[in-house]
Chain A
Amino acid sequence: MITRRRVLRGLFGVTVALPFLETFAPRRAAAGTGDVPPFAIFMRQANGVAQQVGDEPEMFWPSATGPLTAESMAADADRAVSELKDYASRLIMVRGVRFAFQGNGCGHSGGGNQCLTAAQVSEDPAGNESLAMGESIDNRIATELNPAGVEPLTLYAGRMAGYINEVLSYRGPKQLRAAERDPYKAYQKLFGLAEVDAAAAEALAARRASVNDLVREQMQALMRRKDLSKGDRERLQLHFDSIRDLEVGLACALPPERVAEMEAISPNVGSYDNVETVTRMQMDIIALAMACGATRAATLQVGDGNDSTEYTIHGVRQKSFHKISHRIDGDGEVGPPIEGAQELHHQIDRIHARMFKHLLDRLSSYDLGSGTLLDRGVAVWLNDLADKYHAYSRVPYILAGGAAGYLKTGQFIDERITVNKLLNTIGAAVGCTNGQGGPLDDFGDESLEGGLVDTIIA
């Protein structure tokens, strides 16, 4: 049963016997409707998709807009999204999303800056080091809906090659949040729990309170200084706000053999060959985190800023995805063509579709009695670029799950939408509000016209 058994975080990182709450085929009635509040999960693919552009034919979207059914999607078997046909009735595919702002010297960086923020791209730093000038939607959801100090879960799969690494989650302007790329570490931080008896809990609480009080006083003394720069003031404030008393966690766990697999892969999480495996492990953690109510928002970035992963297709390790996405054997503007690059890109889109399906499978495996976990929240497969030209319009966003009935699922729409409206809609669906208490409709840069995407609201 998925309950909120509050236990203490493991003493000294030691994990003792955990209550068995989760298996890989859990199909049992558990907590009632409303027990799991709506949540949002974002999986980012890089480098655009192989959709119709220039002289290339459509290989990504369904052949027709309108209702999505298992039959219609099966008939579109040559399209990448057909991998998701089992979930046709739970999907909302949105073609036509555009980013509002120009990048600042690097398309990848500028796309990553905007895809979850709808914010402007920084002028300084510029190029591939540019940053978003506002918070991301996962941060907004966590700030507004999580208990104080509980951050959005920020995960990553693949190599960090050092050109552009994590791009998704922002605390605020230029405040990029680090992403965890090792599932074992992510798991231990969230669920490395131990059952502690009441007396031990009390002792731990007292100890931590004493230390925290002392540290808080030191922080406050520093923050009282008149000669702090704005940056230092923010730095200290973030640190101060991060101090929390008695860390409580939730007694949730994956089966020990799954955790052992995570531990085994831990030294090689950056290897190209492990990207898909690590992605699936991170999804297992995200699904468990949502089931346990550990956070209301999570992001998972697959590959670095301009994903250079050498995916294995038909048993052969290919050239870097970035080069394939440009159709040339080069990361710059020109280079020798890669034979069959569009088809390879299409296959990489399918790999991402299958990974996303794994997330949907995991969410669906938690049966809440009145539906599955997938129905309670919304999972989003997005890109930070549109296509092989790395354009900022027609950026793919594919939503799954209706956020407890807020969203109207089972449809493919083609509307020209600025990304802030879609982010408003997702935020509103999980419970975020604007300054007046109404549904969130003003997220992102203040120069943008606010509002929601009415077509996808139930």
Chain B
Amino acid sequence: MISPACRLTAFPRWRRLFGAQLSVAALLISGCTGAVGDPREGEGDGVIPGGPTGPEVAERSMFPRLTHAQWENTVRDLLRLDDRPGLSASFTSDPLGGVFDNNEAALLVAPGLWGDYQRAAEELAAMVTADQGKLDRIAPADLPDAPEARAQAFVERFGERAFRRPLTAEERDAYVALFQRGEELFEGEDPFAAGVRAAIEAFLQSPHFVYRVEIGAGPAEGGLIPLGGYEIATKLAYTLWNTMPSDELLEAAKAGELSSREAVRAYAGGMLEDQRAREVVGAFHRQLYDYEQYHDLNKDQALYPEFVPEMGDDMQREAELFVDHVVFDEEGGLTDLLTARTAFVNDHLAAVYGVEGDFSDEFKRVELDEAERSGLLTRLGFLAAKATARQPDSIHRGVFVNLRILCAALPPPPDNATSLPPGELATNRERVEAHTGKGTCGASCHGVLINPAGFAFEHYDAIGKYRTTDNGAPVDSADVYTLGGQPRSYADAVEFSQLLAESSEAHACYAQRWIEFSHGRGVRAEDRALVEELGEASRGGASTKELIVRIVSSTPFLARVPAEAP
């Protein structure tokens, strides 16, 4: 239980801090930490218990909309198609809502997207019902023959999968009525196919399809409304697989098997073994590390003849294979992501890494030189993306580490940026330092946060190749960064990555990002205790998969707070 005095004073500040980035300093505020009790195991009955204190669960929407990727996967699974239909490529895109594409605040149905949904529903319904094979796949095998009973059985069983819960009697009647008008609406078509077509059009445009509706099961208990079994099945499926629940998961919901925290843990563990979970974990790191930036890079061909435009794709592929390997093959976590030397390279990348051997366009597993490379921050994608055509971009490398890896709050640069006259300085580091380091107007941020993190990577040039000299002078990548309240010095990026991997800050940040991603919302003050708890677990060796399992079996995942009165 959080002490009231602390909450009263800390709350508004926390909201602001969390709104931007979780501050490293804020994590260290004492008095508010570690005071929240263990998750309330075993209380209540049926669904996950609420418990006496609500404040650790942040308010969220009851109507988070499917992302376009979720819509694609859901349609594929609902209609039992072999592939994603691809129609969302022409949907209106969503505005940015932070680091990830699933922030509920940005996902709205406006006229443009409503029209997109309508057209897609019509196309899909027409496609599925025009093909007997496709129709057979979505029609339950043992449908009764009598037309009315047949319509009702189809609506009930398809509807349960479309809405991810059984239909109410009212809903069923409305869809059966529409089904029966099918003959008249699609004149000349087979009555059953016409009915299915009308029903599918309406199912795919329903708010119960386009939103993951979370009403909750029953009244609030102790300030929290527990989610129902079907809602938990749905939330698990979208979080771990980015799609609708499987038939098996819906069966589990129906049988009441998702009614304890342990059961949810067990299901989640099993779901993480599926290929679809690999896609989700890949998408998390793709967005966190911003692989998008690895493409369309402009490098000086005279200086870097080995750089070719296709390397954008190669560098992204390398990062994807690495993350997948660490998280799934090795059951690893953040420490491994920051320190492992395993890499997957093709001929383009091997040339830049300086790896000996025969390579083709196929990706091959190699071990990189331990003196030169560590985890993801020493890989080509990050290094080349954070560089100009000729030079490393030390400042952006440093900003990225601060914001994305450490969740540090950086004040934005002032608007009146000024340039200094060119000096007689030999190396990239000297130039950057002269303009931003100690004794300059940028000392406060650049001197202690941005530059030290960025300079750790001075051994990597504008395409990420290892170098020992810069403009004839020996590379200096040593610096000091404060972690855990102590100044930590390091000689280079390998040591810096190791320090990050041992720090509370990086692990808390990684946990925070997973909480944001899993809930599809920005992190809030109420999440703080869980951020710390998971951060420490990660630092202690908990794998990425374990963090995910803990998040989806936590109270904030399994219950919601009642809406604040408007």
Contact = CB atoms under 8 A, between A and B. Distances in A.
A333 B441 contact: yes
Contacts of B217: none
B207 A215 contact: yes
17 contacts: A105-B20, A126-B20, A161-B293, A162-B293, A185-B90, A210-B185, A217-B174, A218-B206, A218-B208, A222-B63, A229-B62, A236-B207, A330-B435, A334-B419, A334-B420, A335-B419, A337-B422
B458 interface: no
Contact of B296 (A13, A124, A126, A271): A271
B110 A171 contact: yes
Interface stretch (B31-39, B197-205, B492-500): B197-205
A244 interface: yes
A13 B119 contact: yes
A129 B175 CA distance: 42
A127 B110 contact: no
A354 interface: no
B185 A207 contact: yes
Interface string B395-413: 1100100000000000111
A334 B208 contact: no
A332 B413 contact: yes
A244 B109 CA distance: 13
B123 interface: yes
Contacts of A159: 296
A150 B442 contact: no
A326 B422 contact: no
A416 interface: no
A151 interface: yes
Interface string A45-69: 0000000000000000000000000
A127 B435 contact: no
B93 A162 contact: no
A243 B296 contact: no
Interface of A: 9, 11-13, 103, 105-107, 123-129, 149-151, 159-162, 164-166, 171, 175-181, 185, 188-189, 203, 206-208, 210-211, 214-215, 217-219, 222, 227-233, 235-236, 238-239, 241-244, 247, 270-272, 310, 317, 319, 326-338, 389-391
Contacts of A180: 92-93, 112
Given A162-B292, A215-B205, A239-B207, A334 B417 contact: yes
B63 A236 contact: yes
A242 B111 contact: yes
A208 B92 CA distance: 21
Contacts of B442: 332-334
Contact of B110 (A151, A185, A272): A151
A242 B205 CA distance: 12
Interface stretch (B49-57, B133-141, B558-566): B558-566
A338 B446 CA distance: 20
A134 to B, nearest CB: 17
Contact of A239 (B95, B108, B115, B450): B108
Nearest to A169: B95
Contacts of B105: 231
B108 A228 contact: no
A412 B296 CA distance: 40
A229 B92 contact: no
A218 B207 contact: yes
Sorted nearest first, the 5 A-B pairs with minimum C-beta distance are A229-B563, A242-B114, A239-B109, A107-B415, A337-B419
A310 B115 contact: no
Nearest to B421: A337
A217 B175 CA distance: 12
Interface in B167-200: 171, 174-175, 178, 181, 184-187, 198
A390 B63 CA distance: 39
A233 B92 contact: no
A162 B215 CA distance: 33
A333 B63 CA distance: 41
A179 B96 CA distance: 11
B354 interface: no
B563 A232 contact: yes
Most chain A C-beta atoms within 10 Å of own C-beta, residue among B93, B105, B213, B422: B93
Given A336-B422, A336-B431, A229 B61 contact: yes
Contact of B395 (A188, A217, A332): A332
Given A13-B123, A228-B62, A334-B446, 16 more contacts: A105-B412, A107-B415, A129-B98, A189-B90, A207-B185, A215-B206, A238-B109, A241-B111, A242-B113, A270-B296, A326-B419, A327-B419, A328-B418, A333-B413, A334-B418, A336-B435
A300 to B, nearest CB: 16
Contacts of A165: 95-96
Contacts of A310: 298
B275 interface: no
A124 to B, nearest CB: 5
A335 B178 CA distance: 66
A124 B207 contact: no
Contacts of A327: 419
Contacts of B118: 208, 247
Contact of A235 (B61, B96, B395, B415): B61
B71 to A, nearest CB: 15
A189 B109 contact: no
B412 A128 contact: yes
A12 B126 contact: yes
B485 interface: no
Contacts of B208: 218
B412 A206 contact: no
Nearest to A273: B296
B436 interface: yes
B15 A124 contact: yes
Interface in B402-455: 411-422, 431-432, 435-436, 440-442, 446, 450
Given A232-B563, A333-B442, A211 B201 contact: yes
A11 B127 CA distance: 13
B566 A230 contact: yes
A398 B395 CA distance: 36
Contacts of B416: 333, 389-390
A390 B98 CA distance: 24
A144 to B, nearest CB: 16
A366 to B, nearest CB: 25
A175 B564 CA distance: 20
Contacts of B441: 333-334
Most chain B C-beta atoms within 10 Å of own C-beta, residue among A177, A208, A215: A215
Given A12-B122, A229-B59, A229-B61, A334 B435 contact: yes
A151 B420 CA distance: 47
A200 B562 CA distance: 48
B16 interface: yes
Interface in B2-27: 15-16, 19-20
Contacts of A160: 96
Given A180-B92, A222-B207, A333-B414, A124 B198 contact: no
Contacts of B59: 229
A233 B61 CA distance: 10
A329 B185 contact: no
Contact of A206 (B185, B414, B431): B185
B324 interface: no
Nearest to B114: A242
A229 B566 contact: yes
Nearest to B113: A242
A211 B435 contact: no
A103 B412 CA distance: 11
B160 to A, nearest CB: 16
A219 B19 CA distance: 31
B20 A125 contact: yes
Contacts of B206: 214-215, 218
B63 A235 contact: yes
Contact of B114 (A125, A217, A239, A390): A239
B93 A178 contact: yes
B470 interface: no
Contacts of B396: 331
A389 B418 CA distance: 8
